[in-house]
Chain A
Amino acid sequence: MSPDPAEAQDAARPHLSPARVLDVDPLLDDPDTRIVVCCGSGGVGKTTTAAALGLRAAERGRKVVVLTIDPARRLAQSMGIDSLDNVPRRVKGTEGDGELHAMMLDMKRTFDEVVEAHADRERAAAILANPFYQSLSAGFAGTQEYMAMEKLGQLRARDEWDLIVVDTPPSRSALDFLDAPKRLGSFLDGRLIRLLTAPAKLGGRAGMAFLNVGMSMMTGTLGRLLGGQLLKDVQTFVAAMDTTFGGFRTRADATYKLLQAPGTAFLVVAAPERDALREAAYFVERLAAEDMPLMGLVLNRVHGTGAGRLSAERALDAAENLEDPRIVDQGDGKAGLRNSPDTYGSSESPAATPSAPDDGSPAGTDDGSPAADPERTVDQLTAGLLRLHAERMQLLSREQHTRDRFLARHPEVAVVEVPALPGDVHDLPGLRDIGDRLAAGRTELS
């Protein structure tokens, strides 16, 4: 769109460039890529990125399923999955030979399925009816994370799709989903469980008597704290779950290994904002520590400009000149730098209130009425355009700064930038557009 993008690109991006540009198409096309996990903090366009990647892969011929956790309603509708039923549905309207399926995670239903798969019918019924279980399956911090990983394992085991794209839960910390299976696993292996299931067993052993006293004190304490009935619920629940725990743990381990396996690719999604990139850096380090294969960083909502050679300062100077014709001779003069925050709070544009002719000079009698002086109005508009540009340049410099800080810390990470769009995505063409931008590999300058 810009008359001279190459030149503008140079001017607008004089800072660090990523050593590697993330190219998503080879990743999506490679039949060995079986799982793509999109992770990152909340509000950075993670779900949209997952959906766009899924659509792109499908339209390039693959059979894809996208697992979303908590999609915005209209994004879900754009893929035709506004009903939450925990089952992948074919998305209509895709182009090409591939297929796109999409589903929304229902964590309670997924948990129930796990119980039903691992316990005999009678025991399963007892567990599902237990009030403690009902609360646990819908509520405990980490259930969503754990169930997302469980569902991923299930989808992979069915082997009906050759690519699974997973969106991760909007956790307080983007890392929770890695920890949830381990946390649950360590709980299930824990001494507390043994205490709750069979406190009596310990009593028989010689030398454990003192511990046993401690134990009964503990159960007593727990009973006092929780109320006897809740403790009983917990004990019944734990007893009922006992036989299924082995299966649980095996599954959690298998899913964790699946994430480390070749064929799994992690994409960290962020926006060029301090907090989002801090989380992203955290994630990059954590994935490395866990031997999880990081493919790169998707940087959403990056702004560009076609007029990068005009700095914010010069644009503001020029705007001043236009608003106050009396100092028009000072092309590069210090016409008084004005920052855009100064303009905030007045409901009308600064251009609509030109410098007051307070010195009573006869030249300054126009009151900005558009019909009276079209020249003046074009000047006002142009001043507005320049202020808008100054604002854009300030934003660009902030974005570049945060991005450069990230790259300085993680030069090894391949990056793809996706330009900011004015609105949200509501339909397949919108997702397709995002996919094109993801594949373009760099900011398309507007």
Chain B
Amino acid sequence: MSRLQVVSGKGGTGKTTVAAALALALATEGKRTLLVEVEGRQGIAQLFETDALPYEERKIAVAPGGGEVYALAIDPELALLDYLQMFYKLGGAGRALKKLGAIDFATTVAPGLRDVLLTGKACEAVRRKDKAGRFTYDYVVMDAPPTGRITRFLNVNDEVAGLAKIGPIHNQAQAVMRVLKSPETAVHLVTLLEEMPVQETADGIAELRAARLPVGRVIVNMVRPRVLDAADLELVRTVPRSSVAQALSAAGLGGARRGGHAERLVDPLLEQAAEYTERYALEQEQRAVLGELELPLHELPLLAEGMDLAGLYELATELRKQGLS
């Protein structure tokens, strides 16, 4: 199992939720995972119902079986100062650089430097060891930028290594790329069973593969329950309205005669069934498209009660059941 698990997906597919559930799933049975956020949205804090995360690794959840999930919201500016301190002992000079706008420049304007720092910090956490020589974290899960930007984001160190042909940045960039392109890393894509996210997933996978970045799994999120089966869908097209009205009436929903309570439910219910049928057919098409990607495919249910902390544990259990951890 790769130790750096990168989770991406189109906006709105719930990649932060899946990343958090995966961090929980990987932490079960006494493991320790680090969940990393790189986009400054504080999505993890919202999900775990805690205060905004500082730039500091802190424990946010305990997994079944005694495991621990730590979380870190990487702030590029602080990551750069951190980095300068670590490599150059530049405490005061770092502050001066900041005054000059150099830090601002480095983290917002300079091409890709921001992304270099973010990926660099995550890779550092992957490689970090304690005094006894054991890895500090068994797994690092990254809530990464969306599918449209993920290849560029992960590959930025290649570009930087090309721009800075020598020097510590060049070396650092190459070290990060070694981790990202190795089996130590797996990039998972979260999608919905809808056309646009599926198309974007397929495009994203092609880009990742072209850049020789290791593609992991496709996780279909918010899958709605199968309520009507094939026989139902067949029958719904031919069933006499009066039979449905009688069945509704028998179930205690009022009169089956014209204008009766049960009878007036028939049209709206059949209408909803027609929508279901159409949606189901579209979902099957998208399943087929995903099937052609030749990657392990997983499905997570839509939680009827909406997403909350309990739901997160539910999804983590589901991920474990499906062998993702």
Residues of A within 8 A of B (CB): 1-4, 8, 41-44, 70, 72-74, 131-132, 135-136, 138-142, 170, 172-173, 183-184, 186-187, 190-192, 195, 214, 217-218, 221-222, 224-230, 233, 271, 273-276, 305-307, 310, 314, 317-319, 321-322, 328, 330-332, 339-341, 343-352, 370, 377-389, 391-392, 394, 398, 422-424, 446
Q: Is the CB of A139 within 8 A of B225?
A: no
Task: Please report the C-alpha to C-alpha distance between residue A377 and residue B228 in the assembled complex, in whole angstroms.
Answer: 12
Q: Is the CB of A2 within 8 A of B268?
A: yes
Q: Is the CB of B108 within 8 A of A384?
A: no
Q: Which residues from chain A contact B239 at a C-beta distance below 8 Å?
A: 378, 381
- Which one of A192, A306, A314, A351 contacts B268 once the chains associate, using CB atoms below 8 Å? A306
Q: Is the CB of B169 within 8 A of A378?
A: no
Q: Is the CB of A135 within 8 A of B111?
A: yes
Q: Which residues from chain B contact A385 at a C-beta distance below 8 Å?
A: 228, 236, 244, 269-270, 272-273
Known: A42-B146, A192-B100. A3 touches B10 (CB 8 A): no
Task: Classify chain B: how many residues form its interface, as a range.
Answer: 35 or more
Task: Please report the C-alpha to C-alpha distance between residue A226 and residue B106 in the assembled complex, in whole angstroms.
Answer: 11
Residue of A nearest to B109 (CB): A187
Q: Is the CB of A221 within 8 A of B93?
A: yes
Q: Is the CB of A44 within 8 A of B12?
A: yes
Q: Is the CB of B100 within 8 A of A349?
A: no
CB distance from B198 to the nearest CB of A (A): 10
The binding surface of chain A is classed by DSSP as helix
Decide yes or no whether B252 CB sits under 8 A from chain A.
yes
Residue of B nearest to A133 (CB): B111
Decide yes or no whether B167 CB sits under 8 A from chain A.
yes
Which residue of A276, A310, A389 has the most chain B CB atoms within 10 A of its CB atom?
Answer: A310
Q: Is the CB of A229 within 8 A of B227?
A: no
CB distance from B12 to the nearest CB of A (A): 2
Q: Is the CB of B225 within 8 A of A343?
A: yes
For window 57-86 of B, CB contacts with A under 8 Å fall at: 84
Which residue of A41, A306, A332, A446 has the most chain B CB atoms within 10 A of its CB atom?
Answer: A306
Task: Please report the C-alpha to C-alpha distance between residue A42 and residue B147 in the assembled complex, in whole angstroms.
Answer: 11
- Which one of A139, A170, A184, A218 contacts B97 once the chains associate, using CB atoms below 8 Å? A218
Which residue of B11, B252, B267, B268 has the most chain A CB atoms within 10 A of its CB atom?
Answer: B268
Residue of A nearest to B307 (CB): A274
Q: Is the CB of B105 within 8 A of A190?
A: yes
Decide yes or no whether B104 CB sits under 8 A from chain A.
yes
The binding surface of chain B is classed by DSSP as helix
Task: Please report the C-alpha to C-alpha distance between residue A384 and residue B251 in the assembled complex, in whole angstroms.
Answer: 13
Q: Is the CB of A132 within 8 A of B194?
A: no
CB distance from B266 to the nearest CB of A (A): 9
Q: Is the CB of B235 within 8 A of A192?
A: no
Known: A135-B159, A191-B100, A446-B271. A339 touches B251 (CB 8 A): no
Task: Please report the C-alpha to C-alpha distance between residue A2 and residue B102 in the assembled complex, in whole angstroms.
Answer: 62
Task: Please report the C-alpha to C-alpha distance between residue A142 and residue B109 in the assembled complex, in whole angstroms.
Answer: 8
Decide yes or no whether B207 CB sits under 8 A from chain A.
no
Decide yes or no whether B260 CB sits under 8 A from chain A.
no
Q: Is the CB of A305 within 8 A of B272?
A: yes
Q: Is the CB of A343 within 8 A of B226?
A: yes
Q: A41-B12, A173-B41, A229-B165 are in contact. List 4 more A-B contacts (CB 8 A).
A: A140-B109, A273-B12, A328-B250, A423-B279
Decide yes or no whether B255 CB sits under 8 A from chain A.
no
Task: Please report the C-alpha to C-alpha distance between residue A346 and residue B226 in the assembled complex, in whole angstroms.
Answer: 8
- Which one of B251, B264, B268 contacts A318 once the chains associate, using CB atoms below 8 Å? B251
Q: Is the CB of B279 within 8 A of A190?
A: no
Q: Is the CB of A381 within 8 A of B111?
A: no
Across the A-B interface, the 10 shortest Cβ-Cβ residue pairs: A42-B11, A43-B12, A331-B252, A306-B268, A227-B167, A43-B11, A318-B251, A349-B229, A382-B247, A135-B111
Decide yes or no whether B51 CB sits under 8 A from chain A.
no
CB distance from A218 to the nearest CB of B (A): 6
Decide yes or no whether B132 CB sits under 8 A from chain A.
no
